[in-house]
Structure 1
Amino acid sequence: MATPNTLIFVDMPSDDPAAAGRFYAEVFGWQNDARPEGVYHRMVPGGQFPNPDGTDSAIGNLHLGIFDVANARPHPEPAGVEPRALSTDGRKPRIWILIGDDDTPERILSAAEERGATILWRDHYWSTFKGYNHAFRDPWGSEILLWGKAGADPAVPASFTRE
């Protein structure tokens, strides 16, 4: 049987990967693995994907990379190539983060905002996937959407927007 193509990593741009690495370590509690410092930072969430019964599976959580827009590595050209600036116009990829059972969207949004993020929205229910979501833009322009499990028959607070 053939092995499927598998998503293994997502990279986000930054003009200061060291600061972005600290931001995500402080906001989400992830390990900031500089490879090397200021050039490329691998954010390691830790833990394993859960089995249906809640025990750890053999599959580790995906990692997130932060690369320097001035010289995005890896690349065959040692000095990198253009563009060398953050994209500021239009839509960009959005990164979805599942809120851990021991955390809250309020704490995450507060920690992000204290570190320079812009809150995009709070308290929204998406019925198609039965989840609560909230979003912020990090100081480098990446959009982070927080996902909270709502369950099969959620009691959506009246104050939440819905779709």
Structure 2
Amino acid sequence: MPDTLIFVDIPADDPSAAARFYAEVFGWRNDPRPEGVYHRMVPGGQFPNPDGTDSAIGNLHIGIFKADNARPHPRPAGVAPRGLSQDGRKPRVWLLIGDDDTPERILGEAAARGATELWRDHYWSTFNGYNHAFMDPWGNEIILWGKAGAAPAIPDHFTRE
């Protein structure tokens, strides 16, 4: 069996506020471990089988860690760097838009809570998806992915590649 991805962690200078942001924008359960230091965000549900029923595989989680003392670490005080990265490329987090949700709602809720909309309405033919993106208040780039389907009707105003 290959090595398995189980978590992706994103930094914040205020993990409690970041956890509230993600709970309010996406409806995820906030699981502080402990409050203000590390928060596991639990989207819930299971990955679906091809027939739409739940598989035995749980959805991936996102962790939010305190940038000035990333845990776990062998040194109790952690190590540098202790600030949020503001310049240059960073990892991006891709989220599949649920069938009962819309990118407009997500982008609006995120912006209302301090996020910056980066772009919207883009079709990526390589993976047949509609994409939109925002930067959360802590500088993390979130890309929303919408399924385009077997014969996508790409709106004229969408950019394409």
Q: TM-score, normalised by structure 2?
A: 0.99
1:78 partnered with 2:76: yes
Deviations 1:8-60 (A, max 9, x none): 00000000000000000000000010011100000000000000011000000
Quote how far apart the aligned CAs of 1:141 are: 0.3
Q: Which residue in 1 is equivalent to 2:34?
A: 36
Secondary structure at the counterpart of residue 79 of structure 2: coil
Aligned residues: 161
Q: Which residue in 2 is equivalent to 1:145?
A: 143
Structure 2 gaps, min length 5: none
Quote how far apart the aligned CAs of 1:102 are: 0.8
Q: Which residue in 2 is equivalent to 1:97?
A: 95
Secondary structure at the counterpart of residue 70 of structure 1: helix
**2-side partners of 1:125 and 1:4: how far apart?**
31
Quote how far apart the aligned CAs of 1:153 are: 1.2
Quote how far apart the aligned CAs of 1:97 are: 0.2
1:129-140 correspondence to structure 2 within 5 Å: 129-140=127-138
Secondary structure at the counterpart of residue 74 of structure 2: coil
- 1:66 aligned to 43, 48, 64, which one? 64
Secondary structure at the counterpart of residue 149 of structure 2: coil
Root-mean-square deviation over aligned CA pairs: 0.5
Deviations 1:96-149 (A, max 9, x none): 000001110000000000000000001000011100000000000000000000
Q: Which residue in 1 is equivalent to 2:158?
A: 160
- Kindly provide the amino acid, as one letter, of the partner of residue 148 in structure 2: A
Tell me which stretches of 4 or more aligned residues in structure 1 moved more than 3 Å: none
Q: TM-score, normalised by structure 1?
A: 0.98
**2-side partners of 1:150 and 1:65: how far apart?**
28
